[in-house]
Structure 1
């Protein structure tokens, strides 16, 4: 919430289903507009009450009655949202509009040019830092990657003066990424399965025009990936196994990343992402790993997925020939457990070990959990 410039006239918040976009809007209204409720309106565009109405008509009536703050949830449920938001922005200079939508929401490629008008933010699931804050009631600073690499012993010490973070780490890996774990904890995995199904069965057909009959193929592809993440895709073999064309397969892989279910590591950053074969594929977060493949036993894969998810949110991840990750085209990272040796990073500049099962690091060996304090 603190990172959003709420003074902007048109704000868009994108994110995967379940990360807390609706709660963010309602909390902001409660904390900042409680004295201006007669000038404030929250509308969910998937509500039956909105059927048969238009955004432009809504905004006109709202402004005429003194409205100043309009919050529109799930705009992707409304077919002409981009054009009408553009018109509202141009026609009502005194109105501030905040809208949320799926991670598939097209801002730059929409026919209405919203890119010059809207300030767009991408909302991620909970970081390990935010999870600990929810669990303990204590607040912790966030750090840039450069701050972490330079001062990790001091940062770890400051955190340990408040709590011992490591006992919370394995909890977070299983159930700490989506905020709804706080509601009906026993139903968390079931609810997460429902979130996955809604992404594939509703958002992809609605926002990418995929035939609903093809969704089982995409689910099959997700199952293949989840059984062995990080997955090194053999495009020819998968195409044959699934009986689909290579180009179709590459498109499906792209959709899985776009909807927020996978993370792809590329060797290069140029070209059309739909046509690039990923060097490695991870599930987007560790909670998905435990739900999609309950027999999961390889902690090495879980650790790499955690690193990719937490570091990749605000940094550029690339495939590295000798280590697990190249970050920001500058830093090489090898991920491992307590005994992970420096053999694989010997001779490499700006190379680090992200090590699980340790509370404090030394030199270029850094506790893995600490990378959960980047946002």
Structure 2
């Protein structure tokens, strides 16, 4: 039976290889997974993890087989037995996608890693929270690689076949403008931030697909990561997302939400922590504030959610700033909003439209401008950080 399943897995992999896109996310080139015997690749649903893994093993010197643990023909069998049989067929390595769907997956993966020291095991999932539920020592064995949401730089490459080096928005190389002078940068940026932050845009029906991914993240993934979660808690998380989409101020009323949902404050803070660790939200705190607080500002991690659900434009703008800057800098909320919106390392940053005033900020990040003017940085330029 297992041999027949492996035959089917081999056929599926060959089929998946034929559907690899001609152009892949440039970020994939920054993931040094080659030569790593045990690796966890994680990131939000729809960021391209499966594409990365299949492309990587298609161009690898080692002989890999790819399988998805949520495949019904696989999920009914012990993961250890399937992978052992794969290695005995002569494969050097295996990729296990959606690994949390495997029954007792962490025990099986640890045993495989220990029993087959000459073989490579790469696993993939939507969050590194899975390692916190894994058996002891697994997290020390597996090197973690995170794939973030897609940058505007990558979107330009996928849609226009233009690849530009990453830039420091606070120290701009003016050569970038000559490279982009023949395209409508603001139009492309609008397309990107509204319906292009995940490479699923290539398949069409972006907002519909995004809605499905969000629902899967809450109702399908989080219960695997947090064993004590209840149905009511999942509904609270969904309500938090719904509130943040349209709220004029990017935060929640802790007391009001606890009362409405009959929750204790500690439980609500814990749910916010889980949402943050699952990368559904970004919580921006003032310097030195505890992780277990609601923070000064809470944004959806994916700015395109705001536009897909007719959300608050100003919050979407700030959510994009946070999404980009946190990949390279430490981002905090300002202690005094009369000074600025954010502290980025030691840089004071204000965010707004093209007429936004400086306050006491070092830089203003402005929407709707195409070139920098003095200390005003176009919003789209943050999309070239990675």
> Could you state the TM-score of these two structures normalised by the residue count of structure 1?
0.87
Post-superposition Cα deviations, 1:232-262, rounded to whole Å, max 9, x if no partner, equal: 3331222223332222221222222222221
Paired with 1:149 and 1:222, the residues of 2 have a C-alpha distance of 31
Residue 325 (structure 1) aligned with residue 339 (structure 2): no
For residue 340 of structure 1, report the CA deviation from its aligned partner: 2.0
Residue 305 (structure 1) aligned with residue 319 (structure 2): yes
CA contact under 8 A between 2:78 and 2:103: conserved in structure 1? Answer: no
Paired with 1:58 and 1:162, the residues of 2 have a C-alpha distance of 53
CA contact under 8 A between 1:233 and 1:279: conserved in structure 2? Answer: no
Partner-residue secondary structure (3-state), 1:2: helix
Paired with 1:80 and 1:371, the residues of 2 have a C-alpha distance of 42
CA contact under 8 A between 1:11 and 1:118: conserved in structure 2? Answer: yes
Paired with 2:328 and 2:41, the residues of 1 have a C-alpha distance of 16
Paired with 2:217 and 2:112, the residues of 1 have a C-alpha distance of 29
For residue 324 of structure 1, report the CA deviation from its aligned partner: 1.3
Unaligned runs of 5+ in 1: 346-350
- Please, which of 16, 27, 31 is the counterpart of residue 4 of structure 1? 31
Paired with 2:249 and 2:142, the residues of 1 have a C-alpha distance of 36
Cα pair distance change 1:323/1:44, threshold 3 Å: same
- Please, which of 257, 263, 284 is the counterpart of residue 244 of structure 1? 263
Number of the residue aligned with 1:20: 48
Post-superposition Cα deviations, 1:204-234, rounded to whole Å, max 9, x if no partner, equal: 2222132224422322222222221652333
What are the residue-to-residue correspondences of 1:238-317 with 2, within 5 Å? Answer: 238-269=257-288, 271=290, 273=291, 275-291=292-308, 293-294=309-310, 296=311, 298-317=312-331
What are the residue-to-residue correspondences of 1:124-273 with 2, within 5 Å? Answer: 124-143=148-167, 147-150=168-171, 152-161=172-181, 163-183=183-203, 185=204, 187-209=205-227, 210-228=229-247, 230-269=249-288, 271=290, 273=291
Paired with 2:161 and 2:248, the residues of 1 have a C-alpha distance of 34
Structure 1 residues 233-242 or 158-167, which shifts more?
158-167
Question: Displaced runs of 4+ in structure 1, greater than 6 A?
Answer: none
CA contact under 8 A between 1:262 and 1:281: conserved in structure 2? Answer: yes
For residue 79 of structure 1, report the CA deviation from its aligned partner: 3.6
Number of the residue aligned with 1:372: 383
Residue 343 (structure 1) aligned with residue 343 (structure 2): no
Unaligned runs of 5+ in 2: 1-27
Post-superposition Cα deviations, 1:6-63, rounded to whole Å, max 9, x if no partner, equal: 1111111111122121121122233x04x76xx3210100001213322322332222
- Aligned pairs, number: 354
Paired with 1:172 and 1:161, the residues of 2 have a C-alpha distance of 18
Cα pair distance change 1:357/1:153, threshold 3 Å: farther
For residue 200 of structure 1, report the CA deviation from its aligned partner: 1.3
Residue 361 (structure 1) aligned with residue 372 (structure 2): yes
Superposed CA RMSD: 2.2
Post-superposition Cα deviations, 1:163-194, rounded to whole Å, max 9, x if no partner, equal: 442220111111011111111x2x22111111
Cα pair distance change 1:67/1:153, threshold 3 Å: closer
Partner-residue secondary structure (3-state), 1:149: coil
Post-superposition Cα deviations, 1:311-339, rounded to whole Å, max 9, x if no partner, equal: 123322111123111123x1121112222
Partner-residue secondary structure (3-state), 1:106: helix
For residue 71 of structure 1, report the CA deviation from its aligned partner: 0.9
